[in-house]
Amino acid sequence: MSLDMSAAKTPASPEKASLKDARAEHARLGAEIAKHDIAYHQNDAPTVSDADYDALRRRFDALEKEFPALADLPSPARGVGSAPAQKFAKIRHVVPMLSLGNVFDADEVQEFVERVRRFLGLGAEASVDITAEPKIDGLSCSIRYEKGELVHAVTRGDGFEGEDVTANVKTISEIPRKLHGDAPAVLEVRGEVYMTHADFTALNKRQEAEGGKVFANPRNAAAGSLRQLDSSITAKRPLHFFAYAWGEITGGMPASTQRGMVEAFAKFGLPTNPRMTLCRGAGDMIAFFDKLGEDRARLGYDIDGVVYKVNDLAYQDRLGFVSRAPRWAVAHKFPAEQATTLLLGIEIQVGRTGALTPVAKLEPVTVGGVVVSNATLHNEDEIARKDIRVGDAVVVQRAGDVIPQIVRVIVEKREGDPPKYAFPDVCPKCGSAAIREIDEKTGEADVVRRCTGGLICPAQAVERLRHFCSRNALDIEGLGDKQIEFFHEKGLIKTPADIFTLEARDKERVAKIENFEGFGKVSTRNLFAAIEARREVELNRFIFALGIRRIGETNARRLARHFGEFAALRACARAAGDPASEARAEINNISGVGDVVAEAVADFFVEDHNERELDRLLEQVTPTPMESVATDSPVAGKTVVFTGALERMTREEAKAQAERLGAKVAGSVSKKTDILVAGPGAGSKLTKAQDAGVRVMSEDEWLAMIAGT
DNA sequence: ACCCCTCGAGTTCT
DNA sequence: CTCGAGGGGT
Looking at chain A, the domain(s) classified CATH 3.30.470.30 span 90-333
- pLDDT class of A18 with cuts at 50, 70, 90: low
Range A90-333: architecture per CATH = 2-Layer Sandwich (3.30)
State residue A50's pLDDT score. 47
CA distance A498 to A505: 9
Least confident range from A108-112, A393-397, A443-447, A702-706: namely A443-447
State residue A42's pLDDT score. 41
Give the CA A147 to C1' B10 distance in Å: 48
Assess whether A555 (CB) lies less than 7 A from strand B: yes
- pLDDT class of A279 with cuts at 50, 70, 90: very high
Looking at chain A, the domain(s) classified CATH 3.40.50.10190 span 639-706
State residue A602's pLDDT score. 92
Nucleotide nearest to A400 in CA–C1' terms: C1
Assess whether A322 (CB) lies less than 7 A from strand B: yes
Longest dimension (CA), chain A: 86
Q: State how far Cα A696 lies from the chain centre.
A: 36
- pLDDT class of A69 with cuts at 50, 70, 90: low
Q: A369 near A216, Cβ under 8 Å?
A: yes
Quote the percentage of chain A above a pLDDT of 70: 82
State residue A63's pLDDT score. 61
pLDDT at A101 over 60: yes
- DSSP H or E stretch at residue A239: none
CATH 1.10.150.20 fits A538-624, yes or no: yes
Q: Is the pTM of this model over 0.85?
A: no
State residue A240's pLDDT score. 94
The mean pLDDT value for A441-451 works out to 77
Q: pLDDT tens digits for A489-540?
A: 888 999 999 999 999 998 888 888 888 877 888 888 888 998 999 999 999 9
The domain A457-494+501-534 is placed in CATH, from the list 1.10.3210.10, 1.10.540.10, 1.10.150.20, 3.30.1330.10, at: 1.10.150.20
φ and ψ of A510, to 5 deg:
-85, -50
Nearest to A265 by CA among A133, A167, A102: A133
State residue A4's pLDDT score. 34
Average pLDDT, chain A: 81
The mean pLDDT value for A246-252 works out to 92
In this structure, how many other beta carbons lie within 10 angstroms of the beta carbon of residue A148?
A: 18
Q: State how far Cα A657 lies from the chain centre.
A: 22
Give the CA A258 to C1' B10 distance in Å: 39
Please tell me whether residue A380 adopts helix, strand or coil conformation: helix
Is A135 assigned a catalytic role?
yes
Give the CA A503 to C1' C9 distance in Å: 52
CA distance A146 to A588: 51
- DSSP H or E stretch at residue A308: strand A303-310
Of A182 and A511, the structure prediction assigns the larger pLDDT to A182
Instruction: Tell me the one-letter amino acid at A171.
Output: T
Tell me the CATH number for domain A639-706.
3.40.50.10190
For helices A553-563 and A566-575, give the axis angle rounded to 10 degrees.
100
Q: pLDDT tens digits for A209-244?
A: 887 778 878 888 898 899 888 888 888 899 999 999
Give the CA A267 to C1' B7 distance in Å: 45
State residue A278's pLDDT score. 96
CA distance A176 to A606: 64
Please tell me whether residue A630 adopts helix, strand or coil conformation: coil
pLDDT at A2 over 90: no
Closest protein residue to B11 (Cα–C1'): A376
The mean pLDDT value for A326-348 works out to 87
Looking at chain A, the domain(s) classified CATH 2.40.50.140 span 2-79+336-413
Tell me the CATH number for domain A2-79+336-413.
2.40.50.140
* A150-170 burial code (b ≥16 CB/10 A, e <16): bebbbbbbeeeebbbbbbbbb
Q: pLDDT tens digits for A453-473?
A: 878 888 899 999 999 998 888
Looking at chain A, the domain(s) classified CATH 1.10.150.20 span 457-494+501-534, 538-624
Closest protein residue to C3 (Cα–C1'): A378
pLDDT at A285 over 80: yes
pLDDT at A256 over 90: yes
Least confident range from A55-69, A92-106, A167-181: namely A55-69
Please tell me whether residue A170 adopts helix, strand or coil conformation: coil
pLDDT at A295 over 70: yes
